[in-house]
Structure 1
Amino acid sequence: MKITKLFFGFIVFIGLLTTAQDKAFTLEEIWGGAFRTENLQSLHSMKNGTQYSVLEKDKVSGATNIEVYNYETGEKAKTLISSSSIEGLDSFQGYAFSKDENRILLSSEMEQIYRRSSRGIYHIYDVPSNGVFKVSEKKIQSPMLSPDGNKIAYVQDNNIYMLNFVTGQEIQLTDDGKKNEIINGITDWVYEEEFSFVRAFDWSADSNKIAFLRFDEKEVPEFSMDVYGKALYQKQDVFKYPKAGEKNAKVSLFIADINAMALDQVKLGEYKDFYIPRIKWTANPDILSVQVMNRHQNNLDLIFVDAKTKTPKVVLNEKDEAYIDITDNLTFLEDNSFIWTSEKDGYNHIYHYATTGELINQVTKGNWEVTQYYGYDKKNKKVLYQSVENGNINRDVYAITLDGKDKKRLSTKEGINDAEFSADFSLYINYFSNATTPYEYTLNNGTTGKVIREIKNNKTLLDNLAQYDVRPKEFSTIEVNGETLNMWMIKPKDFDPKKKYPLFMYQYSGPGSQMVKNSWHRANDYWYMMLAQQGYIVACIDGKGTGFKGAKFKKATQNDLGNLEVQDQIAAAKQLGALEYIDAARIGIWGWSYGGFMSSNCLFKAPNTFKMAIAVAPVTSWRFYDTIYTERYLMTPQENAKGYDSNSPINFVDGLKGKFLLVHGSADDNVHVQNTMQLVEALVQANKDFDWAIYPDKNHGIYGGNTRLHLYNKMTNFIKENL
């Protein structure tokens, strides 16, 4: 077995804590928010390039303010707006500027729908006149100001509306919207969850046209959930959810010309059973870009539509043997040439294309991944991006010229660096953390990366943690099944390599994910430290199929989810169990969602390796999950039945020997509780003993009130009793 240390920063951290107290972490503190970091909320770079705005709450009055600060000095320039000055608006949760920053859209009374969607009450604040008005008396969805700031489009009851502030004219662009039948301008459940967007409309650059998607989901099968509440009778939440192999909504594209009062459908071509994961107007107000993808998601056309003639033209085609990831990186330059990211050379990189679709050049190259695209600095002809070039558990900020030359690493500290650039790219706020440093926010020069000043740090949190027995993550790699896998491990304070310790493993393992990275702690990390304080070693390994190591590594699990990933976790457990200080008879594993699918399989398929497992909100058969995610990696059940059934935990319950805890929320709209119920039935029929818990009316996140605290108490007790 080969385990290689990646870096030794944690040793320094241990040294800093030698004088620290030995206070133990508690679940009440962890889930009560005692270790939350301070951040910058809703930061917006002002168009002048010298100032930025943030959302702040007045601790005395409780009012919500948009405060404007000077980048260079950090001094507050002004309070742009305060909810205390708006009649009937005690506070607001978010804001968005018009392009000219003369109008601000304020959101309040927000009501969550699914993971990304919400509806709320919206007000428009006119900066020059200090005037305020409410967009609608009803709660609306996904409002968007036009580029000229004079209009707003929004969705209400599945229909699109447009309001002209100057004329006072309101136009209802569609009238056929109906729940569970027709949706205009926002996405259906599966698009929202898997293509990561809700607003399905966009304004043209001249503010005269709106392009939008229409979803006809009449033929999509319905899923229903009982919502128990506190009334005498439960209610049913019924919504359209296309499971793998079932019918999707029929999606179509429309363009509304506001001036001409015309609404036209755009025929994109002879596509059948297809997706439209993105629409976006180009710099030319008469050219709309549309991305069209086949159901297998391995063939993508970038189409330019002439808004005058409604004529489509394919300007770029991408193919992949496995699948193509959808991003928001498409950026149009002033000449309508465009920036595009692709994995076509085996790694995710940035490309520059002419408006005709002809490749001008590949901007970034190398055996590493671009992880974020920040934008294009037209003055200096620089592309700004984030990548894992400095090790795939780290992130750094880079600048490179559009022709792929003069690459410069702007960030300097090893860990996770992220950037928020000023409107003119001359400055940026660097968000930095690593496994031993909570979030630091600094103002940096956009050309050199030099730190100009510190904006905010979390030294208070670090000082607070000095009294605790903080257990650092030790980063390393482990050779498993012919691959070098990233790993971290947390050990008890008085670790003695001659003693035997139980091992508790955590993983997620889903395609493109990453759990082993050099970043500051999340709530679960404090839980792992708490377990280490109680004598457990906790470890995490990112196996095959996870991200940021190239397309080949990420797509190794294609058409066979839960096979190679499970083999990697089992092999890693065996290797770690062979270490002198690991008790091979006391190895446990846990995971949530995809991780619960994995932990169940590991326990059932390797009963002599794992003593116990916890599965929270697990997929237990991919036949129960949605079309877009599942078919991206497995094709349809009709095409690949083996890929669905050979790795379903339901089919391997006979292998259960150890202790098993199964947890689910009854109102999980994402991974339906059906998954757990089917697994429970299989376990019962196999006469297997196990523990399980259902949290009433809780969704995939299983939170609210004391819910998380209760769940983690339950899991902690289960670990203590069975490992």
Structure 2
Amino acid sequence: MNMIKSWRVFSLVLIAMIGMAINTQAQNLKKVTLEDIFKKGTFNEKSVYGINWMKDGQFYSSLVQRGGAPAVVKINLATGEEAGVLLDGAKLGLNFSSYSFNADESKALIATDVESIYRRSSKGIFYVVDMASGQKQQLMNGEKISYATLSPDNDKVAFVKDNDLFMVELASNKLTQITQDGEWNKVINGAADWVYEEEFSMAQAFKWSPDGKKIAFIRFDESQVPEFNMQTWGPLYPQDYKFKYPKAGEKNSTVSIHVYDLATAKTQKIDAGTETDIYLPRIYWTQNANTLAFIRMNRLQNQLDIFHANATSGESKLIISETSKTYVDLDYNDDLQYLSDGKTFIRTSEQDGFKHIYHHNLDGSLIRQITSGSWEVTSMVGIDEKAKKLYFISTEASPLERNFYVINLDGKGKKILTPLKGSHTINMSPDHKFYIDYYSTADMPVKVTLNDAAGKELKVLEDNQALRDRLAGFALGKKEFFTFPTVDGTELNGYIIKPADFDPNKKYPVLMYVYGGPGSQNVLNSWGGTRDFWHQQLAAEGIIVACVDNRGTGARGRDFKHSTYANLGKLETIDQIEGAKYFAKMPFVDPTRIGIWGWSYGGYMSSLSLMVGNEVFKTAIAVAPVTTWRYYDTIYTERYLQTPQLNPSGYDENSPISHVNKLKGNFLLIHGTGDDNVHFQNSVDLVNALIAADKQFETFYYPNRNHGIYGGNTTWHLYTMMTDFLKRKL
């Protein structure tokens, strides 16, 4: 017994000595400061950008900066070494920011002076460069245009300007205006309206046929969509900016699909059915240059249909129809690929409860389900038809990981190509002989490697060694992952970041970070960005930072994600409160000092959590929050809540505006007045409700800033303010 007692004493002394050594080491390292993050760019990582695989399979191209000018260089796949300069911005006299080649690489299309419009839309000045002569040809005499795209036969470019679709023949510079009725805030041809761009992740809405003889495009008639008005501040009189924004329950654009035939100069409307209150979010050309595929969804998004249409006659045929008691997620059905045999296609669906890959005949009949299991395919990377292999990324190893796999088209022979734990993003060559792996973990910034199809690393393209060396000089808390059960037994994933000089005998405040929206994920084994380092800065100030992915988040299957259907905010808030209670029981946590912060959906969650969970949360920061789903757009909101007319309680019962009387703690509300996405109106109404409830709080608005709240000194100012608030209130 004495020996055991002596050993215990020795162990305790040893543990104490190790703890002292760790603390001493942490004290000798630098603390993360706001200046490091937002002024000096100390933690900015490098990567490899603008990669295009070249047609011969021996090279790829990449966009780099050379002496302050952009250049596109050619990289030898065998050696990983640079093999020449393809486009030289200095010689061309152009400061271009994007480029693309046509199929035979005889021409390049480059964009300069690109101006963002909304999240994905932009316009710029475009040039076509002849790769043999080096001559450049400016399109539209230097007027700004959008989505310029070379035809497959290399001699024409289609683009959108002033809401109309155009085409120019390069040899003669002959311009053809394909549509004539485009008008601001009324009709858009070939480009998405605001809500399609934001929620269906599309901006360009036209596609060349494989033979270059037709152009399919989507037309948006938004004349009946209500107009939203934002004021921009700065001149003597504020300026009005009006754009079409369909809030939940309001009218959407009437959409239709059309095909322009270059030979006849005629446009054919495609039959998408008689119902007009629908969505047409995707068009695809099949291997048959006269067969157009498209997706149609109903207003409530609980039915998704795939059609094949005759591009000449406009006649269409229903191929596949998928329905759900909740909703069919387009993001999980957005990998439609038609194989070169002209007889089959591949698609993804979560119809069995998890997103998986399916092989179909052209008539829609199922050949087989290629992948299966209680895990999700997050993306299809490539299909090697000759070898009959399919490459994909999935969560099979863990919802916290993203790994790269190959499987035979018959569903056999599945093999992992990236066994290292972490998150892998893959860019694979068209001949499927090579891929570039962007790999990171929570502890390691991105490492970019060139690999062969068997997974063998051929060359390191970027390892961020300089950043790793800098990180070694800072006292950083480790992101520790964990799971815990809620009151109903649901296991939730989370992480916690303790101060580098953590002392288990102290009592620390906790700040929880939340997003929590449907299909999202914060708890992931991947390298973080600015917000992660802000969390490290807070940890350096003695605040433990933690995060919990509540029910409704992604990577855990349909049932987990759809559990919040028709009641957004209810289960998510319960789970965040459960997370706070879980942390409060930890011996090193001060249960009277637990806070929560989030942005957008996260701001909605932090507001609700502070109010509903006023017994556990002391402080909250809400940045650009939705405060009532009645103010958000149709596509996103109705997917999860139905319309306000059908489900009014789902909109109102979990609105922070409905719970202002419960506010007890410290609340900081932040919004940009120029937010085209989550309108400043959300915060104005919450402020009015708080005033009526006689609740004290703090608020700050950023003039003219959009949903991202950035530009100039803005980011520095924002995070400094939030840091100061937490120091005062948490």
Same fold flag (TM > 0.5): yes
Distance 1:16 1:364, change over 3 A: farther
Distance 1:570 1:211, change over 3 A: same
- Counterpart of 1:210 (choices 205, 209, 215) is 215
Report the 3-state secondary structure (helix = DSSP H, G, I; strand = E; otherwise coil) of the residue aligned with 2:670: strand
State yes or no: 1:465 paired with 2:471.
Answer: yes
Letter of the 2:230 partner, please give it: M
- Counterpart of 1:188 (choices 164, 185, 193) is 193
1:506 corresponds to which residue? 513
1:451 corresponds to which residue? 457
State yes or no: 1:155 paired with 2:163.
Answer: no
Q: For residues 386 and 392 of structure 2, what CA distance do their matches in structure 1 show?
A: 16
State yes or no: 1:44 paired with 2:52.
Answer: yes
1:721 corresponds to which residue? 728
Letter of the 1:86 partner, please give it: L
TM-score, normalising length: structure 2: 0.95
Q: For residues 696 and 261 of structure 2, what CA distance do their matches in structure 1 show?
A: 64
Report the 3-state secondary structure (helix = DSSP H, G, I; strand = E; otherwise coil) of the residue aligned with 1:68: strand
1:369 corresponds to which residue? 376
Larger displacement relative to structure 2 (413-422 or 672-681): 413-422
Letter of the 2:299 partner, please give it: R
Report the 3-state secondary structure (helix = DSSP H, G, I; strand = E; otherwise coil) of the residue aligned with 2:330: coil
Unaligned runs of 5+ in 1: 1-10
Larger displacement relative to structure 2 (524-533 or 320-329): 320-329
Q: Is the 8 A contact 1:20 1:467 kept in 2?
A: no
1:345 corresponds to which residue? 352
2:404 corresponds to which residue? 397
Distance 1:19 1:72, change over 3 A: farther
Distance 1:17 1:474, change over 3 A: farther
2:9 corresponds to which residue? none
Report the 3-state secondary structure (helix = DSSP H, G, I; strand = E; otherwise coil) of the residue aligned with 1:93: strand
1:309 corresponds to which residue? 313
State yes or no: 1:127 paired with 2:128.
Answer: no
Cα distance, 1:300 vs structure 2: 0.8
State yes or no: 1:117 paired with 2:121.
Answer: yes
Q: Is the 8 A contact 1:613 1:661 kept in 2?
A: yes
Q: For residues 659 and 73 of structure 1, what CA distance do their matches in structure 2 show?
A: 58
Letter of the 1:124 partner, please give it: V
State yes or no: 1:269 paired with 2:273.
Answer: yes
Q: Give 1:41-120 correspondences, 5 Å limit.
A: 41-58=49-66, 60=67, 62-87=68-93, 89=94, 91-120=95-124
Larger RCO (CA under 8 A, 6+ residues apart): 1
Q: For residues 264 and 295 of structure 2, what CA distance do their matches in structure 1 show?
A: 26
Distance 1:56 1:524, change over 3 A: same
Q: Is the 8 A contact 1:50 1:422 kept in 2?
A: no
Cα distance, 1:528 vs structure 2: 0.9
Q: For residues 157 and 270 of structure 1, what CA distance do their matches in structure 2 show?
A: 29
Q: Is the 8 A contact 2:72 2:87 kept in 1?
A: yes
- Counterpart of 1:604 (choices 604, 611, 631) is 611
Cα distance, 1:133 vs structure 2: 0.4
TM-score, normalising length: structure 1: 0.96
Q: Percent identity?
A: 47
Q: Is the 8 A contact 2:268 2:313 kept in 1?
A: no
Q: For residues 721 and 244 of structure 1, what CA distance do their matches in structure 2 show?
A: 38
> Runs of at least 4 residues of structure 1 off by over 3 A?
14-21
Q: For residues 74 and 500 of structure 1, what CA distance do their matches in structure 2 show?
A: 52
Q: For residues 223 and 637 of structure 1, what CA distance do their matches in structure 2 show?
A: 19
Q: Give 1:219-230 correspondences, 5 Å limit.
A: 219-229=224-234
2:485 corresponds to which residue? 479
1:292 corresponds to which residue? 296
Letter of the 2:59 partner, please give it: Q
Q: For residues 483 and 370 of structure 1, what CA distance do their matches in structure 2 show?
A: 23
Deviations 1:460-512 (A, max 9, x none): 10101111111110011111132111110000123222321111100100000
- Counterpart of 1:239 (choices 243, 258, 283) is 243
State yes or no: 1:146 paired with 2:142.
Answer: no
Unaligned runs of 5+ in 2: 1-17
Larger displacement relative to structure 2 (140-149 or 688-697): 140-149
Letter of the 1:251 partner, please give it: V
Report the 3-state secondary structure (helix = DSSP H, G, I; strand = E; otherwise coil) of the residue aligned with 1:557: coil
Distance 1:44 1:581, change over 3 A: same
2:539 corresponds to which residue? 532
Q: Is the 8 A contact 1:588 1:612 kept in 2?
A: yes
Larger displacement relative to structure 2 (263-272 or 682-691): 263-272
Cα distance, 1:179 vs structure 2: 0.2
- How many equivalent residue pairs? 705
Deviations 1:47-74 (A, max 9, x none): 111111111111x3x2210101011211
- Counterpart of 1:278 (choices 253, 262, 282) is 282
Cα distance, 1:138 vs structure 2: 0.8
Q: For residues 406 and 527 of structure 2, what CA distance do their matches in structure 1 show?
A: 25
State yes or no: 1:671 paired with 2:675.
Answer: no
Deviations 1:337-384 (A, max 9, x none): 111000000000011111111111111111000011112012211111
Measured on the aligned residues, the alpha-carbon RMSD in Å equals 1.5
Q: Is the 8 A contact 1:48 1:423 kept in 2?
A: no
Cα distance, 1:99 vs structure 2: 1.6
1:423 corresponds to which residue? 430
Cα distance, 1:453 vs structure 2: 2.0
Cα distance, 1:437 vs structure 2: 1.2
